[in-house]
């Protein structure tokens, strides 16, 4: 959450404009946030200026000419209590900096409160800030930091920032590009006549403008160039007139600033590090040397962040005694560095979310007040000589540490608490008030990393987790172990931003990779475990089952035998031949009789000597059903003195046909009335091969001499298929019948009729060909099938045969099967009822 320095309204974090007054909210650059977070340094609370500073809230007067501490703007009414305390501390610091001429001079003569900011002040603030940005853009931030000599300007900033983040280390390596504020005063902003020039205030930020005019400039330190704060060999653009090019936020990223400052085109050859910055650097690098006088570390942070804030304060006076707060800071830093290990240094910063950082910072931030910015801002490091040596070494280390922080997130080691005697009261109190916002520093082992948003495993990773592990650990729970090495979620964005700004290649997701490796490296126990096949238990055929089935078999056979033997007179009377004959005379048998008459019609139309092609399309398997039918039809034909030629598309059909003809041989000699042409190979091809009927090989020579049809006496008049008067097929399957039905019309140009006598199985399938005869001139004109039809045919021809003997048994079998069917139906109903 950010507080508008103009109206004091709370705005959402990340918002750029105030929702109430519409003023632009400055955003702290991410790299600065990172630095501060790294070392536990909260955002300095500058009077009159919030963390997210509004340009319009910029002080109208240079920092160097800021009001005295006594004239510090009172904190606004809506400041939280802790902030009130910070403000009081700031006031104290200001008082101590009274002797800072630049600072004092920079102090406004009047105190203004937030509520009394006038529009003119706003405008002045805007102009001031714009100038500040212009200067900053024009002159690249020096890579050779110079510690501000005016430590007093940094004094107000120190306690505020320390209060807000007591646990955080003060960034020792905050390096501010800076140099003494230029002596030249810009005359662009009204209301600044009494204040040092913007250049002076920005002396620590920007190189002096006159450096481009011949003053030799020292080469920018490498660390500063790496930060992108300084563009090498680029002239410093004039400070005026480029305010419009300044970014809104005064360069959120050093790199961005470097790109913008590229327009300026002037490199900062001469870089001066303010004394206070040098001091900060010295503190961070653990150098025992005493910082140059006037160097203040804390203001350095503000200066780094201070593109959105007030310009640097007045030039720190050289050789100034260290303020108390700075001494405390040094002591803290010394203590911390002496106790912490190098690795711990990187891990001292408890991972906190960025929001927490900002929140914690902003809570300690003094609400903006127009007249207070000069107190808390960075003292202008004007006129200070840069210390290239210091600036080059310390920035490198600081940068190196920062890089290490990026590469290796801080471990879960807690930040060692500072010594009790070194922790200022305000810091202790602040820590006591907000224990929940900070990581537990006393946890020896794994710290409790407060994460508002615990890391959640991706769904695909969670699915890879073993079932037992998944049952134990909810997928939404963050993994505890990886958290030890986890990058703080709160600081991830900051780190990523800083990484991008520094041009450091992105670190691969080590956490995720390690987690994935753990998951996939788990033994595939479940996958490799052979799943026992669910073998259905084979039904044991025990003696009882065998006996039962044997009894059923015997019962069926016995029933058939009894019926066949006509032992049961009553059953015979009901179902026997006599009953069947009576049945045929009833209207119930009309359909059967009609089909039989339709079938016999062409047969009765046969004349003597007509050739009938009789195809036997069944095997011994179905001979029990088909043989009686074929026999009765053959007899019917022979009685008409027709000449019957038998053929078969089945290899076993030829001997069956021969058997059939042999049965009639007594009355109708074989070779005279009948002749077997045997087997026709190829199924449908065999039917078409009848085109060479005359050359067909006889199955059995009637006289032992003739081998072909055309050679046999009594058959030499047959030239071909066209001489056949009637086609009859006796088939046990519909397929063989269909071969004949389909191929015969092509074979014979005439229109001899065709009859089909099929088994009961094929009867329904062949029936459609019968009904189409009238419409499609199909050859099939008659169709009968089944034992019952055979029995009826036998009765009609007056020659009872085997079929008639089976009628009773057939009827009884049908009745028994219906009874079995009904039993099955009832069993199914009972089973379903039991289930329900």
Choose between 194 and 821: whose C-beta lies nearer to other proteins: 821
Q: Which is nearer to other proteins, 480 or 546 (CB)?
A: 546
Does the protein bind other proteins through residue 574 (CB under 8 A)? yes
Tell me the closest approach of the beta carbon of residue 774 to other proteins, in angstroms.
8
CB of 639 to other proteins, least distance (A): 25
Nearer to other proteins, 229 or 629 (CB): 629
Interface region with other proteins, contact rule CB under 8 A, candidates 154-162, 237-245, 319-327, 620-628: 620-628
According to CB under 8 A, which one of 280, 575, 612, 664 is a site residue for other proteins? 575
CB of 832 to other proteins, least distance (A): 8
Is residue 327 exposed (0-12), middle (13-18) or buried (19+ Cβ within 10 Å)? exposed
Note whether 620 binds other proteins by CB under 8 A: yes
> In this chain, which of 496, 514, 652, 663 binds other proteins, going by CB under 8 A?
652
Q: Is residue 524 close enough to count as binding other proteins by CB under 8 A? A: no
- Residue 564 interacting with other proteins (CB under 8 A): yes
Minimum distance from residue 731 beta carbon to other proteins (Å):
12
Q: How many residues bind other proteins (CB under 8 A)?
A: 102
Which residue in 691, 710, 723, 796 binds other proteins (CB under 8 A)?
A: 691
**Is 470 or 621 the residue whose CB approaches other proteins more closely?**
621
Shortest spacing between CB 644 and other proteins, in angstroms: 18
Site membership for other proteins, residue 820 (CB under 8 A): yes
480 or 624: CB nearest other proteins:
624
Q: In angstroms, what is the minimal distance from the CB of 727 to other proteins? A: 14
> Shortest approach of other proteins to residue 457 CB, angstroms?
36
Identify the helix (H) or strand (E) that includes residue 767: helix 763-771
Residue 655 beta carbon to other proteins: minimum distance, rounded to whole angstroms: 5
CA distances for 597 relative to 382, 603, 606, 793, angstroms: 131, 10, 15, 9
Q: Does 828 bind other proteins (CB under 8 A)?
A: yes
Q: Which of 128, 325, 580, 715 binds other proteins (CB under 8 A)?
A: 580
Q: In the set 215, 588, 604, 605, which binds other proteins (CB under 8 A)?
A: 588
Does position 480 interact with other proteins (CB under 8 A)? The reply is no
Task: List the interface residues with other proteins, window 790-819 (CB under 8 A).
Answer: 802, 805-807, 809-815, 817-818
Classify burial at 822, counting beta carbons within 10 Å of its beta carbon; exposed 0-12, middle 13-18, buried 19 or more. exposed
Cα–Cα nearest to 330, from 377, 285, 396, 387: 285
One symbol per residue from 526 to 545: x for binding other proteins (CB under 8 A), - otherwise; what is it?
---------------x----
From CA 816, how far away is CA 793, in angstroms rounded?
A: 25
- Report how far residue 58's alpha carbon sits from residue 248's, in angstroms, rounded to the nearest whole number: 13
Closest separation in Å from C-beta 620 to other proteins = 4
Q: Can residue 760 be called a binding residue for other proteins (CB under 8 A)?
A: yes
* List 7, 176, 237, 763, residue binding other proteins (CB under 8 A): 763
Q: What is the 3-state secondary structure (H, E, C) of 99-132?
A: CCHHHHHECCCCCCCHHHCCHHHHHHHHHHHHHH
CB 799 within 8 Å of CB 624 = no
Reported as half-sphere exposure (CB side, CA atoms, 13 A), residue 565 has a value of: 7
CB-nearer residue toward other proteins: 480 or 558: 558
Residue among 46, 398, 679, 715 that touches other proteins (CB under 8 A): 679
Signed CA dihedral, 60, 61, 62, 64: sign only = negative
Enter the DSSP assignment of 697: B
Determine the Cα–Cα distance for residues 201 and 316; give it in Å rounded to an integer: 10
For position 561 contacting other proteins by CB under 8 A, the verdict is yes
Binding-site member from 404, 689, 710, 796 for other proteins (CB under 8 A) = 689
The b/e string for 297-306 (b: 16+ C-beta within 10 A; e otherwise) is: bbbbbbbbbb
Say how far residue 320 (Cα) sits from the centre of its chain.
62
How many residues can be counted in the chain? 836
Tokens of 57: 């809230």
The verdict on 260 binding other proteins (CB under 8 A) reads: no
By C-beta, is 673 or 679 nearer to other proteins?
Answer: 679
Which of the stretches 265-273, 436-444, 456-464, 587-595 binds other proteins when contact is defined by CB under 8 A?
A: 587-595
For the chain, how big is the Rg over CA atoms in Å?
56
Q: Smaller CB distance to other proteins: residue 437 or 791?
A: 791
Q: How far apart are CA 51 and CA 612, in angstroms?
A: 115
Of 168, 285, 781, 787, the one binding other proteins (CB under 8 A) is 787
Smallest gap, in angstroms, from Cβ of residue 815 to other proteins?
5
H helix intervals, 139-274: 157-164, 198-201, 222-227, 254-264
Cβ burial, residue 546 (10 Å; 0-12/13-18/19+): exposed
**738 counts as binding other proteins under rule CB under 8 A:** yes
Rule CB under 8 A: say whether 621 interacts with other proteins. yes
Phi and psi, residue 229, nearest 5°: -80, -20
Taking the complex as a whole, the smallest distance from the CB of residue 27 to other proteins amounts, in Å, to 52
Q: By CB under 8 A, is residue 625 in contact with other proteins? A: yes
Least CB distance from residue 798 to other proteins, whole Å?
A: 19
Which long-range contacts does 636-641 make (Cβ < 8 Å, 24+ apart)?
636/600, 636/603, 636/793, 636/797, 637/603, 637/606, 637/612, 637/728, 638/664, 638/667, 638/668, 638/673, 638/674, 639/797, 640/603, 640/604, 640/606, 640/607, 640/608, 640/610, 641/608, 641/609, 641/673
Question: CB 528 → other proteins: shortest distance, Å?
Answer: 34
Token pair of 668 as six digits: 């109708």
| DSSP track, 131-167 | HHHHHHHHSPPPSS-EE-S-GGGTTTHHHHHHHH-SS
Q: Minimum distance from CB of 33 to other proteins (Å)?
A: 54
Shortest gap between Cβ of 586 and other proteins (angstroms)?
A: 7
β-pairing, 674-679 vs 273-274, is unpaired
Q: Do residues 48 and 368 make contact, with C-beta atoms less than 8 angstroms apart?
A: yes
| Tokens linked to 708 | 């072909």
| 767 is a site residue for other proteins (CB under 8 A) | yes
Q: What is the DSSP letter of 542?
A: -
- Residue 339's CB: how many other CB atoms inside 10 A? 12
Residues numbered 22 to 51 that lie near other proteins (CB under 8 A) are none
- State the minimum distance, in angstroms, from the CB of residue 627 to other proteins: 9
Of residues 138-167, which lie at the interface with other proteins (CB under 8 A)? none
> How is residue 311 written in tokens?
């310009």
Instruction: Please list every residue from 342 through 371 that binds other proteins, using CB under 8 A.
Output: none
- 3 state DSSP class of 10: strand
**688 sits near other proteins (criterion: CB under 8 A):** yes
| Region from 251-259, 276-284, 694-702, 722-730 binding other proteins, contact rule CB under 8 A | 694-702
Assess 567 for contact with other proteins (CB under 8 A). Answer: no
Closest to other proteins by CB, 9 vs 761, is: 761
Q: Determine which residue in the list 619, 665, 672, 797 makes contact with other proteins, applying CB under 8 A.
A: 619
Q: Select 458 or 828, whichever has its Cβ closest to other proteins.
A: 828
> Which of 22, 692, 717, 750 is in the footprint of other proteins by CB under 8 A?
692
Residue 481 tokens read as 């172990």
- Contact with other proteins (CB under 8 A): which of 14, 452, 458, 682? 682
Contact 479, 455 (CB under 8 A): yes
Q: Which of residues 419 and 829 has its CB atom nearest to other proteins in the complex?
A: 829
């Amino acid at each position: 959450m950010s507080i508008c320095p103009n109206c004091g309204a709370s705005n959402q974090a990340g918002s750029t404009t105030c929702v109430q007054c519409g003023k632009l909210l400055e955003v702290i650059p991410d790299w600065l946030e990172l630095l501060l977070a790294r070392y536990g340094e909260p955002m300095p609370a500058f009077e009159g200026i919030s963390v997210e500073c509004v340009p319009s809230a910029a002080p109208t007067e240079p920092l160097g000419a800021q009001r005295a501490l006594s004239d510090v703007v009172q904190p606004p009414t809506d400041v939280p209590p802790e902030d009130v305390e910070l403000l009081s501390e700031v006031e104290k610091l200001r008082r101590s900096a009274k002797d800072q001429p630049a600072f004092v001079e920079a102090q406004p003569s009047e105190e203004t409160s937030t509520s009394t900011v006038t529009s003119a002040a706003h405008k002045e603030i805007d102009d001031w800030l714009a100038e500040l940005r212009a200067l900053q853009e024009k002159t690249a931030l020096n890579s050779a930091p110079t510690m501000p000599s005016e430590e007093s300007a940094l004094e107000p900033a120190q306690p505020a920032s320390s209060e807000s983040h007591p646990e955080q280390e003060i960034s020792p390596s905050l390096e501010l590009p800076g140099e003494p504020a230029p002596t030249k005063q810009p005359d662009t902003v009204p209301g600044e006549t009494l204040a040092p020039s913007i250049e002076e205030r920005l002396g620590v930020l920007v190189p002096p403008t006159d450096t481009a005019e011949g003053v030799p400039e020292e080469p920018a330190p490498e660390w500063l160039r790496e930060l992108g704060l300084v563009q090498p060999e680029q002239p410093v653009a004039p400070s005026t007139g480029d305010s419009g090019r300044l970014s809104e936020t005064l360069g959120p990223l050093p790199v961005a600033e470097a790109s913008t400052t590229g327009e300026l085109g002037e490199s900062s050859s001469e870089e001066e590090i303010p004394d206070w910055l040098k001091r900060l650097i010295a503190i961070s690098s653990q150098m025992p040397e005493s910082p140059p006088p006037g160097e203040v570390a804390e203001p350095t942070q503000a200066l780094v962040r201070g593109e959105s804030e007030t310009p640097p304060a007045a030039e720190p006076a050289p050789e100034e005694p260290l303020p108390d707060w700075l001494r405390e800071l040094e002591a803290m830093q010394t203590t911390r560095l002496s106790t912490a290990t190098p690795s711990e240094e990187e891990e001292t910063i408890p991972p906190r979310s960025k929001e927490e950082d900002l929140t914690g910072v902003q809570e300690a931030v003094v609400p903006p007040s127009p007249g207070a910015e000069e107190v808390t801002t960075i003292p202008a490091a004007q006129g200070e000589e840069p210390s290239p040596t210091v600036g080059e070494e310390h920035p490198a280390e600081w940068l190196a540490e920062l890089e290490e922080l990026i590469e290796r997130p801080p471990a879960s080691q807690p930040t060692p608490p500072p010594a009790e005697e070194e922790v200022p009261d305000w810091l202790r109190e602040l820590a006591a008030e907000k224990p929940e916002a900070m990581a537990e520093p006393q946890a020896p082992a794994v710290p409790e990393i407060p994460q508002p948003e615990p890391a959640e495993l991706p769904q695909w990773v969670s699915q890879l987790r073993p079932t037992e592990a998944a049952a134990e650990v909810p997928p939404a729970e963050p993994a505890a172990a990886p958290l030890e090495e986890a990058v703080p979620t709160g600081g991830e964005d900051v780190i990523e931003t800083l990484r991008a700004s520094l041009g450091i290649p992105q670190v691969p997701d080590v956490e995720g990779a390690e987690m994935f490796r753990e998951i996939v490296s788990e033994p595939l126990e479940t996958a490799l475990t052979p799943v026992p096949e669910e073998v259905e238990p084979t039904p044991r055929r025990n003696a009882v089952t065998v006996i039962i089935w044997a009894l059923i078999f015997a019962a069926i056979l016995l029933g058939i035998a009894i019926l066949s033997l006509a032992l049961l007179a009553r059953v015979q009377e009901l179902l026997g031949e006599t009953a069947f004959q009576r049945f045929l005379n009833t209207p119930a048998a009309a359909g059967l009789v009609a089909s039989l008459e339709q079938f016999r019609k062409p047969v009765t139309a046969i004349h003597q000597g007509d050739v009938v092609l009789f195809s036997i399309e069944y095997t011994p398997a179905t001979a029990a059903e088909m043989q009686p039918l074929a026999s009765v039809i053959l007899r019917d034909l022979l009685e008409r003195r027709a000449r019957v030629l038998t053929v078969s598309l089945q290899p076993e059909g030829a001997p069956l046909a021969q058997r059939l003809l042999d049965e009639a041989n007594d009355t109708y000699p074989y070779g005279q009335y009948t002749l077997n042409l045997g087997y026709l190979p190829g199924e449908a091809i065999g039917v078409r091969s009848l085109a060479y009927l005359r050359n067909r090989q006889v199955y059995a020579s009637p006289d032992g001499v003739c081998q072909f049809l055309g050679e046999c006496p009594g058959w030499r008049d047959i030239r071909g298929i066209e001489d056949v008067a009637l086609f009859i097929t006796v088939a046990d399957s519909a397929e063989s019948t269909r071969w004949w039905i389909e191929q015969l019309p092509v074979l014979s140009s005439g229109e001899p009729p065709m009859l089909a006598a099929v088994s009961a199985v094929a009867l329904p399938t062949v029936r459609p060909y019968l009904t189409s005869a009238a419409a499609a001139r199909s050859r099939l004109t008659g169709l009968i099938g089944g034992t019952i039809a055979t029995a009826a045919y036998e009765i009609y021809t007056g020659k009872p045969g085997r079929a008639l003997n089976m009628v009773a048994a057939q009827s009884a079998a049908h009745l028994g099967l219906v009874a079995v069917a009904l039993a099955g139906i009832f069993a199914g109903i009972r089973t379903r009822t039991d289930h329900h």
